[in-house]
Amino acid sequence: MPRVDFYVLTNNVTEGKLRFTCRLANKIYTLGKSAYIQAASEDQAKRLDDLMWTFDQSSFLPHQRHGDSDTDEPQAPIMIGHQPPPEVQSADVLISLLENAPVYADRFDRVAELVDNDPRDKQSGRERFRHYRDKGFELETHQVSV
């Protein structure tokens, strides 16, 4: 079973989840790993794609939107999609921005779940935590600021 890391954002920052997603994706990339970022919507995937170009002026984070090429094969170490990853996706880490736990989480070595200060998001985070715990996933929780 993969390990699931819950990152609980301790401060309120505009688009904090997306900003932290960029930081997390950058860390994954610098460790030589790959990631699939599961956005909750097409709009969120586009905003994340745009933010990845500007979040850190001193580095470049190679990324690609799922569906932007003629093939389902990933061309970049960081893939962003609002649909479930293709079956051929072999990323090391799943970063989930979904309200519910994805049913395909066990296809990845690690899963990152982000929870912000919004009461609804905290509640759905608790439900995702229970889901993973009940399925036998190894769980870790981290308090982080953006």
Q: Report pLDDT digits (tens) over 123-134.
A: 999 999 999 999
As beta bridge partners, residue 36 has: 79, 94
Residue 54: is its pLDDT beyond 90?
A: no
Q: Quick one: pLDDT band at residue 11, thresholds 50, 70, 90?
A: confident
CATH code of the domain in which 102 resides: 3.40.50.10110
**Domains identified in the chain, total number:** 1
Enter the pTM of the model: 0.92
Q: What tens digit of pLDDT does each residue of 91-120 get?
A: 999 999 999 999 999 999 999 999 998 899
The residue range of the domain holding 68 is 3-144
